[in-house]
Amino acid sequence: MTTGFQGIATDPVSFTLNVLTYNMHKGFAAGNRRFVLPQLRDALEEADVDLIFLQETQGEHKEHQTRVANWPNAAQFEFLAYRLWPHYAYGKNAVYQAGHHGNAILSKYPFSEWENINVSAFRRASRSLLHAVIALPENKGSVHLICIHFDVMASERQRQLAILRSHVEKQIPHGAPLIVAGDFNDWWGEAEYEIGARLGMGEVFKALRGRHARTFPAWLPMLPVDRIYYRGVTPLACEWLRERRWRRMSDHVALHATFAL
Give DSSP secondary structure letters for 211-240: SPPP-BSTTS--B--EEEEEESSEEEEEEE
Topology of 16-260 in CATH?
Deoxyribonuclease I; Chain A (3.60.10)
CB atoms < 10 A from the CB of 136, how many? Answer: 16
- 3-class SS string, 67-87: HCCCCCCCCHHHHHHCCCCCE
Give residue 54's pLDDT.
98
**pLDDT at residue 12, as a whole number:** 52
Residue 112, classed as helix, strand or coil, is strand
φ, ψ of residue 56 in degrees (nearest 5): 55, 50
pTM: 0.93
Q: Please give the pLDDT value at position 13.
A: 57
Q: Give residue 8's pLDDT.
A: 43
Domain ranges in the chain are 16-260
Sign (positive/negative) of CA torsion 209, 180, 53, 32?
negative
Residues of the chain with pLDDT under 50: 1-10
